[in-house]
Structure 1
Amino acid sequence: MRKKVLSILFFLIVVAHTAVRSETIQITTNETALVLQTASNGRLYQLYLGPRLRNVNDYTNLVPGMKSKTDGQAWEAYPVSGTETFFEPAFGIRHNDGNLTTVLQYVSHNVKKISDDVTETEIVLKDQLYPVQVKLFYRAFAKDNVIEAWTEISHKEKKPVNINNYASSMLYWKRSGYYLTEFSGDWAKEVNMSTVPLSFGKKMIDSKLGSRADLHVSPFFTVGLGEKPAEDHGEVLMGTLGWTGNFRFTFEVDNENNLRVISGINPYASDYTLDPGKTFTTPSFIFTFSTRGTGKGSRDLHSWARNYRLKDGHGDRLTLLNNWESTGFDFNETKLDSLMVETKYLGVDMFLLDDGWFANKFPRKDDTQGLGDWEPTKSKLPNGVPALVKAATREGVKFGIWIEPEMVNPKSELFEKHPDWVIMLPNRERYYYRNQLVLDLSNPAVQEHVFNVVDHLMTENPQLAYFKWDCNSPITNIYSSWLKDRQNNLYVDYVRGLYKVLDRIKAKYPDLPMMLCSGGGGRTDYEGLRYFTEFWCSDNTDPVERLFIQWGYSQFFPAKSMAAHVTSWNHAASIKFRLDVAMQCKLGFDINVKELRPEEQEFCKSAVATYNRVKNIIFEGDQYRLVSPYEGNHTSLMYVGGSKQQALLFAYDIFPRFGESLLPVKCQGLDPEKKYRVREINLMPGASPAAAFNDKVYSGDYLMKVGLDVFSTNKMHSRILELTAE
């Protein structure tokens, strides 16, 4: 007992000492500074967030964003519920004794260098009265001007506690006004951009869909600080959450026009039960602050993603031909063999077999059955997947395959054998989304099963080159027979179970390319992209719609992570227009090649060769969005290589008005001192390039200040220009 008393006294002495010591913590990139400071009460506050000051001593002149420590206006770095926090908290807890309050005080911090360009700051906060600890982490990427923030929550109480708020990040701003750009939509109409002013009160962007979390709203946003977000000027905060599950962003403007931005997992139906000695790690909130608009912010995020987050970020990507639009579920070995011949003819790298190749007791003839039974259908594929891999190898192309291993049809052998593996209510009528249910990835047995789907295919077919990993259903009928009395942990533990599977796959098959698909863009986050080389933007491949969809995703993701296929969704659009749109990103085809006219087939072949020649500029270059499709009847963007020796300019006329007045497109990112030869590329056989500027030489200065007349009044017309320094 005496030892316990002495320990408590020692702890209180340490806390008391901490309370009077002022600490200033600087988290900086080459351009941005986030400065935190302790106050006399021992708690940690945000002192500054904005452009990095040249002289570090200037931060001492800043006035903290708080009037006093007790009036509810304090800019606390990680505010808790139940104290003088009058606004939305970052953290909430129910202790063993039922108390709902925790006061977190600064204990220590540590800064370590991860690399020459990356530093990580760890800040330890603890409660005086309860054995609860929160660690704040900030990883700063100096050159890419990106900061990653997350928290670790742990405790040593005698019994489990419940945490009901557990944000990854809390940021504060003081500006004259705020404008939020959000990205909303649905199946086949993803990432619609809209901007609204933020005024007094709260605005939340959140998802409650569990597995296919991004169906209606995407896990990223832009806030214009002082004015609406603009492409080339103004202050903007651009943020995204690395979490393949429910998310929530809260934007709260208080009575003094301060803005609080809280980011993290959505705590909806997820007041998490945390055992003593265990650590709850939140996902990363990834953000950049730009003083030169969203264009600069996007380029920083693209560079960061290639350097640090996207799987094989600087590697190549496989062009492909998918069978879905040619065959649907109706195929056999003979049909697939002929498509592999077409794959070789086009000059793409790989043939991708989509849905419909599996199940025998309930053969996969449509989407009502078979999902979960991952053996080839003998009537369709009597020689299994190995015969298909061999056929592709004979043609000199690679072979990839579609799977949806997290899901199950009730009409399947898997469901018959393991109904306890499925998330579903035991006492109510089931609701089916796309005739399927979700497997319970919180269960280790299910994790093993899902891993084995991939492992078996790879063990049997070591030359298998690619997986398209789909996820078509949100979590419905939410109940886990595995978690029993901890149903509130399901939304979180499902995602963690998914990551455990993906970690095992990545460890065993580190070089295996995979596409992250979810009925289109239902999963678009940077934690998922640790494991996937690219994501499927949308099932909508109409090139006109794709111009908007790809524009939206480009705000946060580099071109090489965005899969874009040439299809027959819009027959009114020429094959050239469709190809020119898809070539902005990672190119693929999902089209019946034999239905194309001979000159169209020839064009596709030449376009693939052109794409292979210039794709490194698209994959590794800086992207500049020049003319927004939201602002008129035309759109344009360009990619500039790192040395500024080469660039590609894409220009599209969507539905221009008759006799419309056209303006030149001004380039960006070029070297004003260099001379660039301009050539139109990717032309249809027999077509002539634009005589007005083709094969002419211009200074970079001219191209950026005067520009080129690349638009026309032709509907669904497109041009790609290659700029080469001489």
Structure 2
Amino acid sequence: MNYFSLRYLAITGVFVILEILFSMMLLAQPVTIPVMTENNAMVLYANKNGDLGTVFLGPKLTNVAEYDDVAGMYRQGDDYSNILNSAYTPSGSRSLLEPAITVTHWDGNNSLDLRYVSHSQTKVDDNVSVLSILLKDPVYDFEVMLFYKTYYKEDVIEQWSEIKHREKGTVVLHKYASANLHIKAKSYWLNQYHGDWAKEMQPEESRLTHGIKTLDSKLGTRANLFQPSVFMISLDKPATEDEGNVLYGALEYSGNFKIDLEVDYQDNLRIIAGINNYASAYSLKAGETFTTPVFLYTFSSKGKGAASRQLQRWARTYKLLDGHGDRLTLLNNWEATYFDFNENKLAELIKDTKKLGVDLFLLDDGWFANKYPRNDDRAGLGDWQENRRKLPNGISSLVKEAKNNSVKFGIWIEPEMVNPQSELYEKHPGWVIRQPKREEHYFRNQLVLDLANPQVQDFVYNIVDGLFTQNPDLAYIKWDCNAVIYNAHSAYLKNQSHFYIEYMRGLYTVLKKIRAKYPKVPMMLCSGGGGRVDYGALQYFTEFWPSDNTDPLERIFIQWEYSYFYPAISSSNHVTDWGRQPLKYRTDVAMMGKLGFDIVVSKLPASDLRFCQEVIASYKTLKDVIWQGDQYRLSSPWENDVASLMYVNAGQSRGVVFNYLVNSRYGGGSKLPVKLKGLDPKKKYRLKEINLYPDTTSPLESGKSYSGDFLMNVGFNPQVSSARSSVVLQIEEEV
């Protein structure tokens, strides 16, 4: 026994005797732990020393016993540490590469060694199971529980960890990942995303080379503004829509994230994902449990399209709030009025809502504050009383007006934020995130409220609760979040390194409380566009706002990329005056998700109004196919003159295909037929062009039927051209 062990034994007594005995014990026999879904498997293996590693991740083998032979097939050189493939890599002991967890023990020691102790599996239902694996340090009373929640039919795994200890003093967590994956292949291709305001979800694909590639955010709020926490990894070669091995990953967390992608010296890929530990060392008390956010992943051996359909089915059933429910079509006033409106103008817009044929009128920014009225974005945030000049009879009169017109009423809020020019800022400067000795720096003329403070949490909750209490018929909330965090400092917290974590805990506490009282009210997740789109937030929201950029041509690309990770029912798409495309094109693009309008209805020509009304009626007959159907990307806007995207219902009896001209150069259009997907090759289908502008006819032959085999192997030409820049086809099984 070495000097350190003897010294530690003298300090901690009997407990350490037991722990040293534990550390000297070998497993009676190695343990194999398969993590299975319908088509895939991740196999974990604890060797005789208790080192837990990943030996396989990929398509499921027919013979489970053969997983024991996998490791012996690789000849990649020495693993000097014996933990290169660790399922949760500790630092400071044997690890030579990027760790999943780094700690400083109560006595100042920085080493950690995690050994397998036991595992158990709980069956939630016929489709969902939770595997838990206990790892412990042989010397310190420190443990990590790894959780793997499998969704069998959807091929999705959610993974997270719980960290706790019973040491004599506080342990500092310097890194605390949710997951640590280990993958073997010849090469790895990363598809990541970047962006900014109005430029969300811009894809980039590159081959991963040796070393570490890090995807991360340090923005505090609106964390996905520059780089979202979703990505794809293709194995051996870039995956296509229908071919190749690909893994999708996403962190279910709305704050700072960090994803390390390390190709090691054996040419294997290690993925370590979790909360960003930037400025966030966490002091963990004895007996306290630190639970990481969930990291989700799905693997497909049949290309990116199959992976996205797996993830979309999972999201609708298990994560997105009311993922199989209804959604409200709406008319928003923002681009019609901006901040310039009054009660009479809004009453007319409510009448236009009914005339248009949508379900709800949404009142956007500008309805609140009196001492510092919200007439632009420089004042009023935080003062959530109705502006008496604009709305002398309050919100309740507008809710009644909507009810009298047989439509619903919704409202915009941004409750996490404050303008320095506000009564809230004057009365509660300690509620604002700001460094007291630094000059304030603003994002959109505003600062962020300190949700680490329980008083601020109550304030934000009461904003929402007060609106519903005073207006029981209120039917919709648009929750915005326009600022990132500068000068991060909480007047409430004693330990500032806990700030970013406690802010997110505070936000989720508020959202949980709102949903406990108002479980079914639709809420849109907005963040100056798509700055906060993740499944950590979407479990509280029915939909999200992909981008403030509503130019329909741009939206085709933005919505295309979001669709790899999020289902159509969650994507709020509005018809606006952005872009140069005709109204039909704009409306068709918005139909590919949850349809809304942000236009001046009273100024529409009669033919445009009629067109919108007919499209809304048509949309209501097709919305179930769009929201709940399987989605197939047929022709990429990045590679072709025409973008085509298709939805098919579960019974393969109905579908809809959206086709758009995305290249306006001379002669651009659908020269070749578009091959459809997802149909039954033995069934016969009729195709009909819908969303025709009034008094126009389709050049497509009507009444003719085609086999699914023909449509998928030969295809159908929608005849897209500069004169027909948007074509929507309805597919019906011939009975």
Following superposition, the deviation at residue 633 of structure 1 comes to 2.1
Q: Give the equivalent residue in structure 2 for 1:31.
A: 39
In the alignment, is residue 273 of structure 1 matched against residue 283 of structure 2?
Answer: yes
Secondary structure of 2:437's partner? coil
Q: Distance in 2 between matches of 1:71 and 1:390?
A: 70
Partner residue in 1 for 2:69: 61
Q: What's the Cα RMSD here?
A: 1.6
Paired amino acid for 2:545: W
> Using a 3 Å threshold, how does the CA distance of structure 1 residues 716 and 134 change in structure 2: closer, same or farther?
farther
Give 1:455's aligned amino acid. Answer: D
Which has the larger displacement, 270-279 or 460-469? 270-279
Q: Does 1:516 align with 2:536?
A: no
Pair 1:575-2:575 in alignment: no
Contact 2:77–2:266 (Cα < 8 Å) also in 1? no
User: Superposed, which structure 2 residues align to 1:545-584 within 5 Å?
Assistant: 545-570=554-579, 572-584=580-592
Distance in 2 between residues matched to 1:646 and 1:241, nearest whole Å: 34
How do 1:117-136 and structure 2 match up within 5 A?
117-136=127-146
* CA shift in 2, pair 1:69/1:180, >3 Å: closer
Paired position in structure 2 for 1:489: 498
- Residue 21 of structure 1 deviates from its aligned partner by 3.4
State the distance in 2 between where 1:238 and 1:161 align: 33
Q: How far apart are residue 392 of structure 1 and its match?
A: 0.3
2:3 maps to: none
Q: Which residue of 1 aligns with 2:598?
A: 590
The Cα shift of 1:86 comes to 1.3
Which amino acid letter does the alignment assign opposite residue 332 of structure 1? N
Shift of 1:436: 0.5
Q: 2:535 aligns with which of 522, 526, 534?
A: 526
Are 1:51 and 2:56 counterparts?
A: no
Asked if the contact 2:52/2:87 (under 8 Å) is kept, the reply is: yes
Normalising by structure 1, report the TM-score: 0.98
- Give the direction of change, closer, same or farther, for the CA distance of 1:4–1:542 in structure 2 (3 Å limit): closer
Asked whether 1:648 is paired with 2:648, we answer: no
Please report how far the alpha carbon of residue 18 of structure 1 lies from its aligned counterpart in structure 2 after TM superposition: 5.0
Q: Give the partner amino acid of 2:589.
A: V
Partner residue in 1 for 2:675: 666
| 1:686 matched to 2:691 | no
The verdict on how the C-alpha distance between 1:675 and 1:306 changes in structure 2, with shifts beyond 3 A counting, is same
Equivalent-residue separation in structure 1 for 2:26 and 2:387 (angstroms): 67
CA distance in 2, matches of 1:161, 1:12: 20
Give the superposition deviation at 1:81: 1.1
Give the whole-Å Cα distance in 1 for the aligned partners of 2:403 and 2:715: 47
Residue of 539, 550, 553 corresponding to 1:541: 550
Q: 1:85 to 1:2 in 2, by over 3 A?
A: closer
Q: Which moved more, 1:675-684 or 1:62-71?
A: 62-71
The one-letter code matched in structure 2 to 1:411 is Q
2:628 to 575, 596, 620: 620
Amino acid paired to 1:630 = W
Equivalent residue, structure 1, for 2:185:
175
The correspondence for 2:607, drawn from 577, 596, 599, is 599
CA distance in 1, matches of 2:452, 2:77: 45
Cα-to-partner distance string for 1:59-110 (whole Å, 9 max, x where unaligned): 1212177866644662011011112211111000011221111101111111
Matched residue, 1:102: 112
Secondary structure of the residue that 1:164 maps to in structure 2?
strand
| Aligned 1:415-454 pairs, distance under 5 A | 415-454=425-464
Helix, strand or coil for the counterpart of 1:527? helix
Name the SS for the 2:549 alignment partner: coil
* Equivalent of 1:705 in 698, 708, 713: 713
Q: Structure 2: how far apart are the matches of 1:153 and 1:6?
A: 23
Out of 712-721 and 510-519, give the one that drifted further: 712-721
Unaligned runs of 5+ in 1: none
Matched, 1:477 2:487: yes
Q: Deviations over 1:507-537 (max 9, x none)?
A: 0000111000000000110010000000000
Q: Could you tell me which residue of structure 1 aligns to residue 346 of structure 2? A: 336
Q: Is the 8 A contact 1:222 1:229 kept in 2?
A: no
Greater Cα offset, 533-542 or 255-264: 255-264
Q: For 1:553 and 1:657, how far apart are their aligned partners in 2?
A: 27
Change (3 A) 1:6 1:491: closer
Partner SS state of residue 190, structure 1:
coil
- Which stretch of the first structure deviates more once superposed, 159-168 or 415-424? 159-168
Q: CA deviation at 1:202?
A: 1.1
- Whether the aligned pair in 2 keeps the contact of 1:563 and 1:586 (CA below 8 Å) is yes
Pairing 1:199–2:209 present: yes
- The size of the alignment, in residue pairs, is 723
The amino acid across from 1:370 in the alignment is G
Distance 1:664 1:162 in 2: 61
Match for residue 397 of structure 2? 387
Partners of 2:562 and 2:310 in 1: CA distance: 14
Matched residues in 2 for 1:4 and 1:437: separation? 48
Matched letter for residue 443 of structure 2 = Y
Partner of 2:103: 93
Question: What is the alpha-carbon distance in structure 2 between the residues aligned to residue 3 and residue 194 of structure 1?
Answer: 54
CA drift at 1:156: 1.5
| Aligned counterparts of 1:44 and 1:655: Cα–Cα separation in 2 | 52
Q: Which residue number in structure 2 is paired with residue 611 of structure 1? A: 619
Deviation at 1:632, TM superposition (A): 2.4
Q: Distance in 2 between matches of 1:274 and 1:547?
A: 46
Give the SS at the match of 1:710: coil
Cα distance in 1 for partners of 2:667, 2:520 equals 52
Percent identity for Structure 1 against Structure 2: 51
Against the structure 1 CA distance between its residues 3 and 226, is the aligned structure 2 distance closer, same or farther, given a 3 Å change threshold?
closer
Partner-residue secondary structure (3-state), 1:400: strand
Cα deviation, residue 9, structure 1:
3.1
Deviation at 1:629, TM superposition (A): 0.7
CA distance in 2 between partners of 1:720 and 1:516 (Å):
28
**Equivalent residue number for residue 22 of structure 1:** 30
User: Deviations for 1:658-713, whole angstroms, at most 9, x for unmatched residues?
Assistant: 2357111000000000000110111111110233x433200000000000111433
CA contact (8 A) 2:22 2:138 kept: no
Match of 2:71, SS state, is coil
2:83–2:89 Cα contact (<8 Å) kept: no
Whichever residue aligns with residue 132 of structure 2, its letter is E
Q: What do residues 167-195 of structure 1 show as CA deviations (whole Å, max 9, x unaligned)? A: 11111111111111011110001001111
1:143-542 to 2 correspondence within 5 Å?
143-484=153-494, 486-542=495-551
* CA contact 1:94–1:100 (8 Å) conserved in 2: yes
What letter corresponds to residue 560 of structure 2 in structure 1? W
Q: TM-score normalized by structure 2?
A: 0.96
The Cα offsets for residues 603-633 of structure 1, whole Å up to 9 and x where unpaired, read as 0011110101100000000000111111122
1:72 and 1:629 map into 2 onto residues whose CA distance is 47
CA apart distance, 1:598: 1.0
Of residues 686, 697, 714 in structure 2, which corresponds to 1:677?
686
CA contact (8 A) 1:563 1:585 kept: yes
State the 1:718 CA deviation.
0.6
Q: Is the 8 A contact 1:206 1:248 kept in 2?
A: yes
Q: Name the structure 1 match of 2:639.
A: 631
1:40 pairs with 2:48: yes
Amino acid at match of 2:566: F
C-alpha distance in structure 2 between counterparts of 1:642 and 1:624, whole Å = 13
Between stretches 446-455 and 255-264, larger displacement belongs to 255-264
8 Å CA contact 2:686–2:705 kept in 1: the answer is yes
Which residue in 1 is equivalent to 2:85?
A: 75
Q: Deviations over 1:370-390 (max 9, x none)?
A: 000111000010111111100
SS in 2 for 1:167: strand
